[in-house]
Homo-oligomer: A and B are copies of this chain.
């Protein structure tokens, strides 16, 4: 496995190997702390992202790698150079790995054909479709709480249309086996492409929550509330916000997830976000273990004995 571009093109064996390695690392991260010494990762981010960029940077550092950040506001990007030319230049400088975030769907696919065998590409989020490391950390978190995931019900709810998390999450849950996958979104924010075999779609949030073992809430962006005639967020919250009252409809022990950053009081109440069912901070921690697993799997790094 040379690159991690998306969930669909990655084999079940590789996905399981990454998740198993993430478990090993979470149990004893010290074993890996110099595994990637003298290697270099470049973070090439065409869109800003605190959370994902810092998570990749910490994951790389914890493996002993050096990290170079390149942001979209930097020069070549502004000078109109193509993604492929920027990529080829950076590759020519000899890094071991490039993590790329880009606004265009599938932008990274074209790079794999020009990548040298020694260079590894990791998708850090492209367009509105793929965010494979987020999907892996979400599944890793689900399994830690619900080891018998094949018997469980997971609901993904909120702005399914614009979230780059959804497709990757659904693809991975299908691939690795979740008992039942439910989707629920306001009509304006439903993603038609997700409505496929093996997925149950709900129009009513309360009905969708009934008996679920995990609910993954998605961020609604303020500029999209206007398009829904819910410009102030309160109306959205009334119909689509996760409250403790709504959460009571779910199965006992149901866990609550959110990829962040949260809009408190809009798609999620603070009492839920900070409550006992929330594993939101744990997702963030798991993100570092999973990204360490991805990088060390691709680069062929081994933990110390």
Task: State the CA gap A55–B74 with chains docked (Å).
Answer: 14
- Tell me how far the C-beta of A22 lies from the nearest C-beta in chain B, rounded to whole angstroms: 14
Comparing A170-178, A203-211, A284-292, A296-304, the segment that makes contact with chain B is A284-292
Comparing A85-93, A150-158, A241-249, the segment that makes contact with chain B is A85-93
Known: A48-B75, A50-B89. 5 other contacts (CB 8 A): A76-B261, A79-B221, A89-B260, A93-B284, A94-B285
Q: Given A50-B86, A51-B89, A288-B93, A58 and B76 touching (CB < 8 A)?
A: no
- Tell me how far the C-beta of A65 lies from the nearest C-beta in chain B, rounded to whole angstroms: 10
Q: Are B54 and A68 in contact (CB under 8 A)?
A: yes
Residues of A near any B CB (own CB < 8 A): 33, 38, 40, 42, 47-51, 53-55, 57-58, 61-62, 66, 68, 70, 73-82, 85-86, 88-95, 221-222, 260-264, 281-282, 284-285, 287-288
Please indicate the chain B residues that have their CB under 8 angstroms from the CB of A282 in the complex: 92
8 Å CB contact of A285 from B51, B68, B92 = B92
Q: Are A281 and B75 in contact (CB under 8 A)?
A: no
Q: Given A42-B54, A48-B73, A74-B50, A93 and B261 touching (CB < 8 A)?
A: no
Task: State the CA gap A46–B196 with chains docked (Å).
Answer: 43
Task: State the CA gap A50–B48 with chains docked (Å).
Answer: 16
Q: Are A61 and B40 in contact (CB under 8 A)?
A: yes
Please indicate the chain B residues that have their CB under 8 angstroms from the CB of A86 in the complex: 50, 261
**8 interchain pairs (CB within 8 A)?**
A51-B89, A57-B68, A73-B73, A79-B221, A80-B222, A80-B261, A92-B281, A93-B287
Q: Are A58 and B93 in contact (CB under 8 A)?
A: yes
CB nearest neighbor in B for A282: B92
